[in-house]
Structure 1
Amino acid sequence: MMGGEALARAMGVHPVSTPFQEELRLELSLTSGGQSFSIPGGQVKHLSARMDSHGFSASVTFWTTMEKKDAPLFTAFQKPDLIQVRLAVTAVQPDLESPPTPLVLQGLVRSRRLVAETHGALKDEARVFRRYTVEFADAAQVLWRQHRPTELHTDMSMAEVLEAHKATLQLSLDWATLKRKQPLFCLALGSDAPGVSFYDFVLWYVDTHQGVFSYDNQKDQYLLTDSKPASGQAAALSPLPVHSVRVLVPPPIRHGTRVLNALAEAPTTVALEHAQAVAGVSHDVLLRTPLASRAEQRQKQEKARLQVRQRQFQVAFKRFPPMDVFPGALLRMEGSLWSAGMTGLDEDLRVRTLELDAHAEDEGQHDAQNTPSTNYQARLSLQLEAASEPVVALPAYRAPRYPIHVEGLVHSPGGEPEDRRYLISEDEKTSIHSFRMTVPLWNKTVSVLAEPIHFPGQFFFPPYKNTRVLVALHHERAELLRFVDWKEGVRPPQDGQGDQILLGQNKKSQTALTHDFQEDKPVWRMLRTSGGDTQVVRMSEGHLFIQVKESEATAPPTPTYDVSPQVQAAKGDLTASVGESIGLTSTAYQAAMGTTRAKMKSAQTETKAALGGARAEVGAKVAEAKSTLKGASARLDQGTGQLAAAAAAAKASLEKLR
């Protein structure tokens, strides 16, 4: 998918900002091996950071003082221990009564560099200043991009998978889809899927299930939710600190989508169209599922992908703004200082991306030592989207490659280990028939569709108990590919160059069909065995031999039957049914919530418009009242003047009478 930066480049638009001088207070600390080191902000000579709604990446360069004072940091820096970085950036603006929240970057070091420079000499001993550079990012990018597990889980939810693999990350999971139990859940991220990490897997899962993956840089916490946050008060953004504003109009989607279900008994083709699509241009999605609910779910997913992205704004600053501008913060370009009719005026806008670059004006080793702040030449720009934008911006990712292939053993009802038994389970809700396969690598039992595999439909050869098979594991389902070994006793001796079919339960109760060569002549034989009772039909060159024989044998063993596999299968079917029901309920709930949110947003928009109209009407009436009061005041002043003149004339007349 196309992110904001990619969108800007695709349109030929690059971030434009002008450097400005700003006094910044930087609080930098590094923690390694249980030791914490604080670096005075004045010693930081360069800072570069890009903060997105899903995480950040940054680099920072700083000088240290003499080698004796930074010896512990120097020693820790050379060890391979994990280094945690916390950097808080605040513009020094003493005239503000309520300063904005500092920009906080909390992450792990990706790479590090160290350069030592000598300065002066004392008794033939050179003094050393060290220049450290660390590149760091949020923990998910650093840890999850190196995490590539290959696992199989059953009766587990995505929330449980995330909790099991979160390492040191803080997660907030407020999404019903994550909590839905899945009969099968496979992670396929090992070396057979080059370049695909657990980070890619999480982004792929969020994207394919229409969720939201975001990062709260202030709390150092990751949020997986079903929709973007809609609450919060937008801060007024004045044009005074703004250098420029650009409007980015994303390219519209010109294709429709068709969801094709290639089921022979009931094939379907559902066309998903939208207003911007060009007739005859389509992205097709091919399925093969007997479940209408799964096809409908995929149709909803593909419909959501056709949402049109709204316009975006690129704002460059000429000084630090006096409000919160970290990703997720809401801004509103309002006020009489903005040009009337400007695009985006008086709209709630959400910060998607922040880019900051700062170079200290004094870069020498001695400059600003042990001071909390210093002057920087800084560049600051934001990318904003409408607060109502439904489309989720995710970083580029690689989709995991499914399926992976593992060996399994057919799981079927009891008897003896060597018995050839089979089990076919039927889902009462969907009427789908399944075989059960145990994967010894993870000791998990999964269901696969009960199909003829490589035989035509007139042959019924179900997989027998403990038969070695090759199983294909997809993300949430399994598939039986082929058999990888012969059952015991079915392969005839090689010197006979023969073929054989064994039908039945075991050696004591079976029918064997054998065709081989004896003295280069074909021989066909059928041997039926049932305890001590045997029948043989043998055809060879010029001979037909039929024998029925009953030998004394012990009483036939009492047949045993282990029902635990059926119980487990029923439990699996019940879990799948409950999980699907919960999924359908969750989907309905999310759809209802989406409708409710849309109505609330519409009501908010109408309320804001009504309030705006009311403000204008009240303003006009207030202006009219002020004008009336001014006129009355002027007439009162005129009357007062006339009265004063009459009083003065009367007084003059009285003086004359005296």
Structure 2
Amino acid sequence: MRTAVQEGLQIELTLTLGGQSFSIPGGQVKHLSVHLATHGFTASVTFWSSLQKKDSALFTALQKPDLLQVRLSVAAGDASPPTPLVLQGLVRSRRVTSESHGISQGVEHLFRRFTLEFADPAQVLWRQHRPIDLYTNISMMEVIEAHKANLQISYDWTVLKQKQPMLCLALGADAPGVSFYDFVLWYVATNNGVWSYDSHLNQYWLTADKPTLLLASPLSGLQVQDMKVHLPPPIRHATRVLNAVAHAPTTAVLEQPQAVAGVSHDVMLRTPLATQAEQRQKLEKTRLQPRQSLLDMSFKHFPTVDIFPGALLRLEGPLWPSGLKGLDEDQRVLSLDLEAHALNEGVHDDQQNLIATYENLLSVRLEPASETLVNLPAYRTPRYPIHVEGLVHSPGGDAQDRRYLIVEDEKTSLHSYRMTVPLWNQTVDVPAEPNQLPGHFFFPPYKNTRVLVALHFEHAELVRFIDWKEGVRTPQDGQGDQALLGWNKTSQTAFTHDFQDDNPVWRIHRTSGGDTQIVRMGEGHLFIQVQETPGVMAPTPTYDVSPQVDAAKADLSASVGGALAESATAYQAAMGTVRAKMQSAHAETKAALSGAKKEVGAKVAEAKSGFQEASARLSQGSGQLSGNAAEAKASLEKLR
């Protein structure tokens, strides 16, 4: 059972807003609540002001909507632990009450009680940031940099630096409650990365692996008040990754030893690329890794070692129960909770003191240093796709020409159309598929046709067509249908069926400059005409290679991008191997040091025992010598 302990705390509180800075003496702080984790923190602080006039500088400044920055430092009154607990964040909400102290020379003086709730900058700013954006040929790191506001972020993750053909942020009103903060956490979780925060530096890290500190601080059981062991619930399911592509469907079953037969979490894909299915299988395999046990402990007083998230502790010494989970193993601090209530809460108490006495509850949660799984706060998953209008992109010819372009990826042999999204002036690829038509019709979308495009996070799809091309639609009076094929009005073939005098009429009209051919079938007649209009020059044949050049550029870009992706993947795999070897070597070194320490300890104990035995013999010999001396002295006394 956790109980509060009385202890002096040295608290430093600084507020900054609108170019002004205010320092609050620690004795004025009456309540403090902190939850600090590896990914960030939330906190609240309550303090009394010194005696103020109605228009005091602090009170006036807090009325402004300026960004309010808080820096809070907490240490034990005896200056331990070695590193004070430091929080640097932005205020979410502020409350103030006042207590009149009376009127002096016609001016009322007040004590004011301020309560500020604050958190790390990413939570405050990014939870209100909900952008909708489309990017092409960009890396995830560049996207985050474009939206980071004034945050300090460092990167050590190959995945973030890989160029992607397309990335879409869909965090606006179409996805209620999903913020950029949720998006980043979702991305980290789905790609098995690490999101961490250093409260001392006020800096964030996006990395492939958890940071590793080489040295762990020894923690004695004398400093601990209470401890609990949390055993994680075992995973009772396996996973199946299903690829529903018709030509080569696959089902990959990922087993894990604690799974119950017949219980499965299934993941559905539809991709013709086996490499994508394999990557997803590797990702899902890591999700089946069981978590290790956690330790919750509360302290009798501020410990004499660093306990900020990410710090390493080692439970060692004779005061820990034998067989304790995690004993003599390095433990990483996952989170810290501090609740402090001032023993003297009056407006006059400890007003100018730097150190005051508080009733404290301080606890931490620990995980084994070897744990690779990441703990992230709860987040909301972004909702995809969003739908936007696009124009079919096909270079060459005039703006009104009906041309099409199909690009083939030489590496994957996949075909795609290109769609320009005017809202962002970006061009994305969509699969070149029959869409709503059966496969024996080939009607590719023509240049500048208005279409509805579905934007997912990393890919786009053609949903449907929005408008007809110029000249295709027939007058409503004739109730006609028409298919218009070809490039433009001077080079095309029209297939038309309509009603004239309530009789169906079908015709074919081919045009090539001044050369026209007409086949017309109506009620009781068949009309065929071949005509060349004098004075109308035949269109000069041109050979526009823009589509081929554009397709070649696309192929080259895809090839380069694929090569870079392969190189990045290979590099990441190599780095993973290197990290694993380093961690193994680190573990071996620790084990060797531990063994050497135990061996030296045994030898010291042996030497100490020998020394004690020799000392005992010496003491015994000294006693015997003293006895002989006493006997000799007694004999001499008798001779006298």
Q: TM-score, normalised by structure 1?
A: 0.92
2:232 alignment partner in structure 1: 250
Asked if the contact 1:43–1:62 (Cα under 8 Å) also holds between the matched residues in 2, the reply is yes
Q: Give the distance between the partners of 1:148 and 1:459, measured in 2 at CA.
A: 42
CA apart distance, 1:657 = 12
1:37 corresponds to which of 1, 5, 22:
22
Identity score, percent: 69
CA apart distance, 1:463 = 0.6
Residue 623 (str. 1) matches residue 605 (str. 2): yes
Residue 56 (str. 1) matches residue 38 (str. 2): no
1:639–1:73 CA distance, 2 compared to 1 (3 A):
closer
SS in 2 for 1:476: coil
1:66 alignment partner in structure 2: 51
Query: 1:505-544 residue pairs with structure 2 within 5 A?
Result: 505-544=487-526
1:83 alignment partner in structure 2: 68
2:282 alignment partner in structure 1: 300
2:131 alignment partner in structure 1: 149
Q: Give the distance between the partners of 2:549 and 2:56, measured in 1 at CA.
A: 66
Q: Give the distance between the partners of 1:644 and 1:357, measured in 2 at CA.
A: 64
Residue 271 (str. 1) matches residue 256 (str. 2): no
1:395 alignment partner in structure 2: 377
Query: 1:102-501 residue pairs with structure 2 within 5 A?
Result: 102-122=84-104, 125-501=107-483
1:4 alignment partner in structure 2: none
SS in 1 for 2:144: helix
Q: Give the distance between the partners of 2:162 and 2:119, measured in 1 at CA.
A: 31
Q: Give the distance between the partners of 2:76 and 2:342, measured in 1 at CA.
A: 14
**Letter paired with 2:26:** G
Q: Deviations over 1:428-473 (max 9, x none)?
A: 1111111111111111111111111111111110111111111111
Q: Give the distance between the partners of 1:312 and 1:29, measured in 2 at CA.
A: 35
SS in 2 for 1:597: helix
1:21 alignment partner in structure 2: 6
**Letter paired with 2:212:** A
1:640–1:125 CA distance, 2 compared to 1 (3 A):
closer
CA apart distance, 1:123 = 5.4
SS in 1 for 2:535: coil
CA apart distance, 1:587 = 3.0
Q: Give the distance between the partners of 1:645 and 1:126, measured in 2 at CA.
A: 90
Q: Give the distance between the partners of 2:259 and 2:223, measured in 1 at CA.
A: 41
Asked if the contact 2:93–2:118 (Cα under 8 Å) also holds between the matched residues in 1, the reply is yes
CA apart distance, 1:158 = 0.5
Comparing 120-129 with 542-551, greater Cα deviation is found at 120-129
1:563–1:47 CA distance, 2 compared to 1 (3 A):
farther
1:562–1:548 CA distance, 2 compared to 1 (3 A):
closer
Asked if the contact 1:417–1:466 (Cα under 8 Å) also holds between the matched residues in 2, the reply is yes
1:492–1:650 CA distance, 2 compared to 1 (3 A):
closer
1:507–1:611 CA distance, 2 compared to 1 (3 A):
same
Asked if the contact 2:385–2:456 (Cα under 8 Å) also holds between the matched residues in 1, the reply is yes
Q: Give the distance between the partners of 1:648 and 1:134, measured in 2 at CA.
A: 82
Asked if the contact 2:54–2:109 (Cα under 8 Å) also holds between the matched residues in 1, the reply is no
Q: Give the distance between the partners of 1:603 and 1:476, measured in 2 at CA.
A: 38
CA apart distance, 1:604 = 3.7
Q: Give the distance between the partners of 2:209 and 2:557, measured in 1 at CA.
A: 27
Q: Give the distance between the partners of 2:630 and 2:368, measured in 1 at CA.
A: 69
Q: Give the distance between the partners of 1:371 and 1:655, measured in 2 at CA.
A: 75
Asked if the contact 1:408–1:437 (Cα under 8 Å) also holds between the matched residues in 2, the reply is yes
Q: Give the distance between the partners of 2:450 and 2:120, measured in 1 at CA.
A: 45
CA apart distance, 1:606 = 4.1
Asked if the contact 1:172–1:223 (Cα under 8 Å) also holds between the matched residues in 2, the reply is yes
1:297–1:40 CA distance, 2 compared to 1 (3 A):
same
**Letter paired with 1:167:** A
CA apart distance, 1:602 = 3.7
1:237–1:565 CA distance, 2 compared to 1 (3 A):
farther
1:70–1:212 CA distance, 2 compared to 1 (3 A):
farther
SS in 2 for 1:581: helix
1:559–1:184 CA distance, 2 compared to 1 (3 A):
farther
CA apart distance, 1:617 = 3.8
SS in 1 for 2:221: coil
1:576–1:201 CA distance, 2 compared to 1 (3 A):
farther
Comparing 426-435 with 547-556, greater Cα deviation is found at 547-556
Q: Give the distance between the partners of 1:356 and 1:652, measured in 2 at CA.
A: 73
Q: Give the distance between the partners of 1:286 and 1:648, measured in 2 at CA.
A: 98
Q: Give the distance between the partners of 1:651 and 1:130, measured in 2 at CA.
A: 87
SS in 2 for 1:302: helix
CA apart distance, 1:125 = 4.9
Q: Give the distance between the partners of 1:622 and 1:60, measured in 2 at CA.
A: 51
Residue 570 (str. 1) matches residue 552 (str. 2): yes
Asked if the contact 1:213–1:222 (Cα under 8 Å) also holds between the matched residues in 2, the reply is yes
CA apart distance, 1:248 = 0.3
SS in 1 for 2:196: strand
CA apart distance, 1:325 = 0.8
Q: Give the distance between the partners of 1:146 and 1:315, measured in 2 at CA.
A: 35
**Letter paired with 1:374:** A
CA apart distance, 1:165 = 0.5
**Letter paired with 1:135:** E
CA apart distance, 1:508 = 0.7
SS in 1 for 2:71: strand
Q: Give the distance between the partners of 2:278 and 2:521, measured in 1 at CA.
A: 58
CA apart distance, 1:237 = 1.1
SS in 2 for 1:447: strand
Aligned length: 640
Q: Give the distance between the partners of 1:18 and 1:553, measured in 2 at CA.
A: 104
Q: Give the distance between the partners of 2:38 and 2:376, measured in 1 at CA.
A: 8
Q: Give the distance between the partners of 1:315 and 1:294, measured in 2 at CA.
A: 44
Q: Give the distance between the partners of 2:629 and 2:186, measured in 1 at CA.
A: 92
1:649–1:232 CA distance, 2 compared to 1 (3 A):
closer
CA apart distance, 1:527 = 0.7
Q: Give the distance between the partners of 1:627 and 1:585, measured in 2 at CA.
A: 61
